């Protein structure tokens, strides 16, 4: 998880699909005006059509939007969610 947070997934053992998704998400998030058709090629080579690429872009965009809203309003994680993030232990359904 730290590798993804620090954008150092190049050393991780990711599937080609995971790597292609990380690369697109990184560039689309950080330098969207520099995206070219070639940036989508790894996903297209894996069978992603126009609709699938658009869905990836929407998901990346929504996550960027939501984190910017949260950061802009200074929202803080509740203690259980923060602990789950620190420990990597998932939250239990229903708060139990």
Mean pLDDT of the region 18-25: 94
Give the chain's radius of gyration (CA, Å).
16
Q: What is the pTM of this model?
A: 0.74
The residue ranges of DSSP E strands in the chain, in sequence order, are none
Question: What domains can be seen in the chain, in order of their start residue?
Answer: 2-95 (1.20.1290.10)
pLDDT in the model for residue 75: 94
pLDDT in tens, 50-66: 999 999 999 999 999 99
At 71, list the tokens. Answer: 């950061």
pLDDT in tens, 63-96: 999 999 999 999 999 999 999 989 989 988 875 5
At 85, list the tokens. Answer: 């993030």
Confidence of residue 38 (pLDDT cuts 50, 70, 90): very high
Q: Above 70 in pLDDT, residue 10? A: no
Distance CA 78, CA 72 (A): 17
pLDDT in the model for residue 13: 86
């Amino acid at each position: 998880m730290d590798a993804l947070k620090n954008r150092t997934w190049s050393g991780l053992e990711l599937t080609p699909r995971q790597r292609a998704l990380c690369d697109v998400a990184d560039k689309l998030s950080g330098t969207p005006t520099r995206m070219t058709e070639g940036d989508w090629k790894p996903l297209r080579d894996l069978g992603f059509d126009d609709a699938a690429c658009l869905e990836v872009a929407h998901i990346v965009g929504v996550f960027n939007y939501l984190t910017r809203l949260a950061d802009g309003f200074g929202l803080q994680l509740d203690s259980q969610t923060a602990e789950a993030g620190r420990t990597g232990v998932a939250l239990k359904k229903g708060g139990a």
